[in-house]
Amino acid sequence: MRDTLKGRPSSLAFAASALGLTFGAPVWADDAAERLTERLDPLESYQATFEQQILDGSGERLQSARGEMWLSRPGLLRWEVEAPYSQTVVSDGDDVYMYDPDLEQVTVQAMDDRVTHTPALLLSGSVDELTESYEVFYEQDDGEDVFTLVPISADTLFEELSMVFDADTLTELWMMDSTGQRTAITFSNITSNGNIDQSMFDFEIPEGTDVIREEL
């Protein structure tokens, strides 16, 4: 696995200026959205291990984590962080459960638009809604296809999100927020459209756990 810290930030413009990368001519708007739709439409399920790094605006590493994720469209997700601290996020299509076993606490939030615009849940949603909510740009970088999504609405958790595909397989996600902080997620051991036990997306609140329900 290559070192993503030496690769592409979520902002392609930043990458070009700061790292001296040279890209081919970009493909804009409808053509880019159509290409992204061609990648995502056939994706019914996705399973992978991941490494996640959070970087500040200067590229310094603030936090890292690793774990495994399962996704089934539409709307189903299980995201398990194994290290350095155990955490689990489960979406059953109606609610999202964020469980911290160390704190013995689970937060439950309905699947409103803001929640579904987080990177992993965004992948589990409708492709039509995705292309209606974001401007989509496409470029090639060293043989990989890079789709950068810029939200049309200001009420989102990120300023830019980049999806990186090696052929038809999603291999990386890069996100940048309004403070310049970036999140880099690299996937490995990937299985696309495999069989996933749907019970993976059911979450039973452990006995004795504090429950926080966030209302809309």
Residues 98-115: pLDDT tens digits?
999 999 999 998 886 555
CATH architecture entry for 27-202+210-214: Clam (2.50)
Q: Residue 197 above 70 pLDDT?
A: yes
pLDDT at residue 141, as a whole number: 86
When mean pLDDT is compared across 18-22, 91-95, 171-175, the lowest value belongs to 18-22
pLDDT digits (tens, 9 = 90+) for 18-63: 233 333 444 555 688 888 888 888 999 999 999 999 988 888 888 8
pLDDT of res. 29: 52
Q: Say if pTM beats, i.e. exceeds, 0.95.
A: no
pLDDT category of residue 123 using cuts at 50, 70 and 90: confident
Q: What is the pLDDT of residue 113?
A: 58
Q: Does pLDDT of 177 surpass 60?
A: yes
- Please compute the mean of the pLDDT values over residues 173-186 and round it to a whole number: 89
In this predicted structure, which of 15-29, 83-97, 133-147, 177-191 has the lowest mean pLDDT? Answer: 15-29
Contact at 8 Å (CB) between 72 and 45? yes
